[in-house]
C-alpha cells in the first residue's frame, strides 16, 4: 500500500506541475500521467490535431518532447535532481494519427554521481506496436 500511495502522490505532483506551468511544459496538458515511482513513469494521451505534422502524423518534435519530459519525470521519482539534458535520441518507427491512443513508458536505467541514463517507448494502445523509442542522458550533479 505504501508504494501505491507514493505512486498516487507522484501522479498528483507531476500533474500539478504540468497544469500550473506557464512555460513549455504547458504543451503536455493533454498528457495524462498514469503511474510513477521508483525510477519509472507512465503516461497516455490521445493524438489530437495540435500534435500533428503537415502530413497528418504525430509530430516528431512533440514525440521528442514527450521523451524528454516523461523520462525527466521518471528521474524525479527517485531522490535525484531532475538535471539538464546532455543527449536525447529518438528513433521513429511508426506513425500515429489523430484519434490514436498512445501509451508512454519511461524508465531510469542508471543514475550516477554526474549522469543519469533513461529510456522511453511510445506505443499504440490498440495493438502495443512501437511508435518511437527514445534514450535520454541528463547531467545531475548540482551541488
Binned at pLDDT 50, 70 and 90, residue 2 comes out as: very low
* C-alpha cell, 64: 521528442
**Residues 6 or more apart whose Cβ sits within 8 Å of residue 11:** 33, 34, 35, 36
Sign of the CA dihedral 48, 49, 50, 53?
positive
For the whole model, what pTM was predicted?
A: 0.91
Q: pLDDT tens digit string along 105-138? A: 999 999 999 999 999 999 999 999 999 999 999 9
Question: What is the pLDDT, as a whole number, of residue 81?
Answer: 82
pLDDT (mean) for 5-17: 81
Vertex 63: Cα angle to 110 and 27 (nearest 5) = 105
**Fold category of 7-139 in CATH:** Thiol Ester Dehydrase; Chain A (3.10.129)
Amino acid at each position: 500500500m505504501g508504494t501505491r500511495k507514493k505512486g498516487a502522490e507522484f501522479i498528483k505532483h507531476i500533474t500539478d506541475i504540468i497544469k500550473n506551468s506557464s512555460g513549455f511544459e504547458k504543451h503536455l496538458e493533454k498528457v495524462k500521467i498514469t503511474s510513477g515511482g521508483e525510477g519509472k513513469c507512465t503516461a497516455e494521451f490521445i493524438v489530437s490535431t495540435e500534435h500533428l505534422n503537415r502530413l497528418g502524423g504525430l509530430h516528431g518534435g512533440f514525440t521528442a518532447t514527450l521523451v524528454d519530459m516523461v523520462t525527466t519525470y521518471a528521474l524525479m521519482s527517485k531522490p535525484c535532481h531532475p538535471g539538464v539534458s546532455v543527449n536525447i535520441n529518438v528513433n521513429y518507427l511508426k506513425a500515429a494519427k489523430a484519434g490514436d491512443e498512445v501509451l508512454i513508458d519511461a524508465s531510469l536505467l542508471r543514475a550516477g554521481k554526474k549522469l543519469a541514463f533513461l529510456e522511453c517507448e511510445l506505443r499504440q494502445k490498440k495493438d502495443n506496436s512501437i511508435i518511437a523509442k527514445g534514450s535520454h542522458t541528463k547531467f545531475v550533479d548540482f551541488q
